[in-house]
Amino acid sequence: MFSDLHPLPLDPLWALQNAHRDDPRPHKLNLGIGIYRDAHGHTPVLNAVQHAERSLAEAAPSKVYRPLSGNADFTAAMTRLLLGEHTPTLDRAVTVQTVGGTGALRTLADLIASAHPDATVWTSNPGYANHHPLMRAAGLLTAEYPWQDDGTGTTDLRPMLSALDAAQPGDILLVQGCCHNPTGIDLSQESWHALAQHCQGRGLIPLVDMAYQGLGQGLTEDAQGLQIMTRHLGTVLIAASCSKNMGLYCERTGTATVLVPQPSEKAAVLSVLEGIARRTYSMPPEHGAAIAAALLNTPHPWHQELGAMRDRIRTVRTQLGHALRDAGAPHDLLTIEHHQGMFSLLPLTPEQMDTLRDHHAIYGTREGRINIAGIPDHAITPLAHALIAVYGR
């Protein structure tokens, strides 16, 4: 049965992880994968998570199956986090628990494939490496719009909108809600408004990918673009992840939300989402969702720790900017300071990224993405010098 199968090429990100693991140089620096690390390079479990886990263990609730749509406390609290408290849009929202943000994207892709199989999903270029494969795995076509800096650190809307002129009514605009992976550049508030208008005028359905809420400007601030969409449009799809902002990476905790024009459409959408879950994995895992529900419903300790993560990312950006400036870096490299969230896309070629790895033991993706949230304090100045050595002044 399997004799005609050939091994697939290793995903470049995992290949990078393996190469870093096998590198004997003691000063090696892994800026490949998107994981938050503290000033000493560790990724500890948040105190709020540890507290929630202790409470859950003491309460020892039963392990019986949960509903297909997951933990209702969790999905309700996530819906409020995404859409805002006390907003009429809450009445139009259906949310199910998913296996991380990836599971949310795939669940929504399957929903789109059920409702409108001919839809093309438009994603950013550069963009998240898994968007195309996830959408195509559900049988959907994909296309791209450009995502580039307008010179002020935000996304240039003009080339984006002109690419979207080729989109058909009913097509899906997959857009990252904040902290764009891999560029770190986001839409301004004005651009979100213009994009919402464009979707309305052209009949496009936004699918907002929220993988980093709270790691840019703040939990509320980072949801503003999404909420411009949800306030202005009848139908909006949202994929959310608790991997980064709660540090729940391996617990695979996320949600898929569908905003429908009329509350009467919710029941059908929920039943299709539950059907997708049923034929994929049945019930989602409870542990991460129970932890996340505790964090969301007693938010103060979590907000403090999330704020500390956000502040550290900001501080690393500022310090890296200073170190680059002190060493005479060109303007192109200094844009790192203005980016949002965990990532920045360096203006280095794939060959220069190879040199960074081979000569300086610094691992980023060949596209030039580095995880700013993964730079320990002691590596900031050496990184600045290495970047200038490879890129030039």
- Among residues 100, 225, 247, 374, the one that binds ligand PMP under rule CB under 6 A: 100
Stretch binding ligand PMP (CB under 6 A), from 98-106, 146-154, 167-175, 310-318 = 98-106
Does 181 bind ligand PMP (CB under 6 A)? Our answer is: yes
Stretch binding ligand PMP (CB under 6 A), from 100-108, 189-197, 266-274, 310-318 = 100-108
Does 101 bind ligand PMP (CB under 6 A)? Our answer is: yes
- Among residues 213, 230, 241, 340, the one that binds ligand PMP under rule CB under 6 A: 241
Cβ 176 to ligand PMP shortest distance, Å: 5
Cβ 344 to ligand PMP shortest distance, Å: 14
Does 176 bind ligand PMP (CB under 6 A)? Our answer is: yes
User: Residue 252 to residues 242, 288, 358: CA-CA distances in angstroms?
Assistant: 8, 7, 33
Distance of CA 36 to the CA centre of its chain: 13
Q: Please check whether residue 207 is in contact with residue 108, taking contact to mean a CB–CB distance below 8 angstroms.
A: yes
Identity of the amino acid at 40: H
Cβ 97 to ligand PMP shortest distance, Å: 12
Tokens of 23: 């590198």
Does 110 bind ligand PMP (CB under 6 A)? Our answer is: no
- Among residues 172, 211, 353, 384, the one that binds ligand PMP under rule CB under 6 A: 211
Does 209 bind ligand PMP (CB under 6 A)? Our answer is: yes
CA distance 188 to 216: 13
* Shorter beta-carbon distance to ligand PMP: residue 105 or 380: 105
Tokens of 240: 């959310």
Does 102 bind ligand PMP (CB under 6 A)? Our answer is: yes
- Among residues 34, 126, 214, 225, the one that binds ligand PMP under rule CB under 6 A: 34
* Shorter beta-carbon distance to ligand PMP: residue 256 or 348: 256
CA nearest to 38, candidates 305, 253, 251, 291: 305
CA nearest to 296, candidates 211, 208, 226, 219: 219
Does 344 bind ligand PMP (CB under 6 A)? Our answer is: no
Stretch binding ligand PMP (CB under 6 A), from 97-105, 223-231, 323-331, 367-375 = 97-105
Stretch binding ligand PMP (CB under 6 A), from 83-91, 95-103, 107-115, 166-174 = 95-103
CA distance 22 to 24: 6
* Shorter beta-carbon distance to ligand PMP: residue 34 or 368: 34
Cβ 63 to ligand PMP shortest distance, Å: 23
CA distance 354 to 358: 6
Does 128 bind ligand PMP (CB under 6 A)? Our answer is: yes
Does 36 bind ligand PMP (CB under 6 A)? Our answer is: no
* Shorter beta-carbon distance to ligand PMP: residue 105 or 205: 105
* Shorter beta-carbon distance to ligand PMP: residue 287 or 385: 287
Site for ligand PMP in 253-312 (CB under 6 A): 254
Does 79 bind ligand PMP (CB under 6 A)? Our answer is: no
Does 216 bind ligand PMP (CB under 6 A)? Our answer is: no
Identity of the amino acid at 281: Y
Give the interface with ligand PMP as residue ranges (CB under 6 A): 34, 100-102, 128, 176, 181, 209, 211, 241, 243, 254
